[in-house]
Amino acid sequence: MPVIDIHSHYWRYPEHFQEDFQIQARRARAGVEVDLTVNFDHYCATAPADIRTVVFGGKAKLSGLWVNDSDIATYVSRSPERLIGFLSLDPTQPNWQQELHQGHCELGLRGIKLMPMYAGFRPDDERLDELWRYASAHRLPVLLHTGTTFISQAPLEFTYPRLLDKVATKFPELRMILAHLGHPFEGECVAVIRKHQHVYADVSALHYRPWQLYNSLMLVQEYGVWHKLLFGTDYPFTTVNDSLAGLRNLNTQLQGTRLPRLSVDALESMIQRDSLSLLGLV
């Protein structure tokens, strides 16, 4: 079973970013200067040979990020056997309905990426029921940013995983992925994915905070929701190989202690999970 990276980005840096976003992005990883350049050859060179990857850009006028969906479709066309493209929406902006139809029907993109905090909207706002209804009817999985950010103007009140509980209750057949395990609100994220059959979380961009990730996955283990986790990276913030190594080395920090260990079998099952089948993308 090939490893599936459910969370990667494509953009042209710095073209797709306003200057303010570029400056604030320096806070993305403590003590590390992140190169936001996306290079497909570099991605492949730092991943298993049979990797399959979901890729999207992002649209968030408030935060200064905008990648047209046509750019994603062009990127996917480089390696359609490996790449699966998602469209992006910013529902605070006019014409998002038109962009939804165009991305899905004309460009052939197969899922939706939303950035509620970055764009400044509540995902449980009833005015978005049209979006959720369309995604559910057309079996388009929706991946949402949940959790923290380095962008000052992005409101934390829109990022809580609990906001997706209402959406999942109203649209029970909708496939959703809560990005980054909702960190640092992992407890909320676990509560949401535990109670909804088709709601999952990814573990992207977490391995470089190993103590926090250990505690987060111990919550997952104690609540019995390993099967609701999907592997992802958040490339270019990190790579596939670094993410895999970080996950597999989490228990090593416990040497010399009596702390409980994460299940190696459960962790490997997550890494090898057929996420595409779960999300209806095969």
The enclosing domain of 11 has a CATH number of: 3.20.20.140
Residue 157's pLDDT is 96
Residue 118's pLDDT is 98
State whether residue 122 is helix, strand or coil: coil
What is the per-residue pLDDT across 28-81, written as a single tens digit (0 to 9) for each?
777 788 788 999 999 999 999 999 999 999 999 999 999 999 999 999 999 999
Q: In the structure encoding, which two tokens stand for residue 167, read together?
A: 């959406």
Q: Domain range spanning residue 150?
A: 4-278
Residue 25's pLDDT is 79
Residue 278 neighbours by CB under 8 Å, 6+ apart: 175, 200, 230
Residue 41's pLDDT is 97
Residue 31's pLDDT is 77
Residue 24's pLDDT is 85
pLDDT under 70 in the chain at which residues?
none
Residue 22's pLDDT is 86
How far is residue 164's CA from residue 147's CA, in Å, rounded to a whole number? 12
Residue 34's pLDDT is 77
Nearest to residue 267, comparing CAs of 215, 230, 222? 230
Q: In the structure encoding, which two tokens stand for residue 170, read together?
A: 């109203």
How far is residue 33's CA from residue 36's CA, in Å, rounded to a whole number? 9
Task: Please give the radius of gyration of the chain, using alpha carbons only, rounded to the nearest integer.
Answer: 18
Residue 132's pLDDT is 99
Whether 64 and 119 have beta carbons less than 8 Å apart is answered as no
Q: Domain tally for the chain? A: 1
Whether 275 and 83 have beta carbons less than 8 Å apart is answered as no
